[in-house]
Structure 1
C-alpha cells in the first residue's frame, strides 16, 4: 500500500469514528467498527484512543504508522447515523465497497430527524402513559399530555436556535412544571402530584447514562465518567428548573 493510500484510508476510518462518537455510539462500538473498517480497506491494524472530546487514531501498514487527531463535537443522539456506519462497515468487509465508495457514502451521511409536529404529540402521549401507570386519573393524564407537549415544544425551539443544552433543560423543566401546576391551581384532578412527576420524564437523560455505564463496564473509564458527568449536569439543570417553578407556584 502506498503512503497516499494509507493517508486516505486513515482519514476515512477516523471520520467514521468521529461520526460514531458525535451521534451517540458507545466507545467499544467505535473501536470495533474502526478496526474492522480499517482492516477491510487494507490497513494492518488500527489503534484508537478516545477521550471525552477528542480521539487519536493510529494506522499501521508495513511498519509505517500514521497518527491523526480529531475533535468530537456532540450532535445529539441519532441512531440512523450509527446504523448507517455499521452497514457501511459490513458492506466494506464483504467487498461490496472500496475506499472510493466509502468516501462517497461518508460524505452523504446526514442525520435525519422526525418533524416537530410528530415528536411533540408522541412525547405528550408517552408522558401521559406514564402518568396513567403511576395511578393518575384521566384529567391528570390530559394535563400531563398538555404540559409535556408544551415543554417539548419549548425544548425544540431552543435546540433549533442552538442554546446551551443545560439552559435548554432548565427552561424546559420550568415551563413544563408551570403548566403541570394547573392541577393544583384548579381542583380538577385528585392526583395533581402525579402530573408533576410524569410530565418531566422526557428530560431524563437515559441514553447518556446507559452509554456512561456501558463505557465504564467495558474499561473506558475516562469517557464513561465524562458522559456520566454530562448526564448528571443535565439532570441538575432539570431539577433547578423544576425547583424554581415549584417555589414560585407555592407547591413546597
Structure 2
C-alpha cells in the first residue's frame, strides 16, 4: 500500500469514528467498526484512543504508522447515522464498497429526524401513558398530554435555535411544570401530583446514562464518567427548572 493510500484510508476511518462518537454510539462499537473498516480497506491494524472530546487513531501498514487526532463535537443522538455507518462497514467488508465509494458515502451521511408534528404527539402520548401507569386518572392523563406537548414544542424550538442544552432542559422543565400545575389550580383531577411527575419524563437522559454505564462496564472509564457527568448536568438543569416552577406556583 502506497503512503498516499494509507493516508486516505486513515482519514476515512477516523472520519467514520468521529461521526459515530458525535451521534451517540458507545465507545466499544466505535472501536470495533473502526478496526473492521480499516482492515476491510487494507490496513494491517487500527488502534483507537477515545477521550471525552477527542479521539486519536493510529493505522499500521508494513511497519509504517500514521497517527491522527480529531476533535469530537456532539451533535445529539441519532441512531440513523450510526446504522448507516454500520451498513457502510458491512458492505465494505463484503467487497461491495471500495475506498472511493466509502468516501462518497461518508460525505453524504446526514442526520435524519422526524418532523415536529410527529415527535410532539408521540412524546406527549408516552408521558400520558406513564401517567396512567402511575395511577393517574383520565383528566390527569389529558393534562399530562397537554403539558408534555407544549414542553416538547418549547424544547424543539430552542434546539432549532441552538440554545445551550442545559438552558434548553431548564426552560423546558419550567414551562412543562407550570402547565402541569393547572391540575392544582383547577380541580379537574384527583391526582395532580402524578401529572407533575409524568409530564417531565421526556427530559430523562436515558440514552446517555445507558451509554455511560456501558462504557464503564466495558473498560472505557474516562468516556463513561464524562457521559455520566453530562447526563447528570442535564438532570440537574431539569430539576432547577421544575423547582423554580413549583416555588412560583406555591406547590411546596
**Following the alignment from structure 1 to structure 2, what is the Cα–Cα distance between the partners of residues 161 and 73?**
17
**Following the alignment from structure 1 to structure 2, what is the Cα–Cα distance between the partners of residues 109 and 237?**
32
Structure 2 matches for 1:81-160, cutoff 5 A? 81-160=81-160
- 1:213 is aligned to 213
- 2:161 is aligned to 161
Question: CA offset at residue 122 of structure 1?
Answer: 0.6
**Following the alignment from structure 1 to structure 2, what is the Cα–Cα distance between the partners of residues 247 and 109?**
45
Aligned length: 252
**RMSD of aligned residue pairs (Cα, Å):** 0.3
Question: CA offset at residue 135 of structure 1?
Answer: 0.4
1:79-132 CA-partner distances (Å, limit 9, x unpaired): 000000001000000100000000000011110000001101111101000000
**Following the alignment from structure 1 to structure 2, what is the Cα–Cα distance between the partners of residues 210 and 187?**
38
**Following the alignment from structure 1 to structure 2, what is the Cα–Cα distance between the partners of residues 159 and 176?**
16
- 1:67 is aligned to 67
- 1:58 is aligned to 58
Q: Secondary structure at the match of 1:74?
A: coil
Q: Secondary structure at the match of 1:162?
A: coil
- 1:225 is aligned to 225
**Following the alignment from structure 1 to structure 2, what is the Cα–Cα distance between the partners of residues 146 and 216?**
38
Gaps of 5+ in 1: none
Confirm whether residue 4 of structure 1 aligns to residue 16 of structure 2: no
Structure 2 matches for 1:169-188, cutoff 5 A? 169-188=169-188
- 2:24 is aligned to 24
**Following the alignment from structure 1 to structure 2, what is the Cα–Cα distance between the partners of residues 83 and 172?**
30
TM, length-normalised to structure 1: 1.00
TM, length-normalised to structure 2: 1.00
**Following the alignment from structure 1 to structure 2, what is the Cα–Cα distance between the partners of residues 75 and 122?**
22
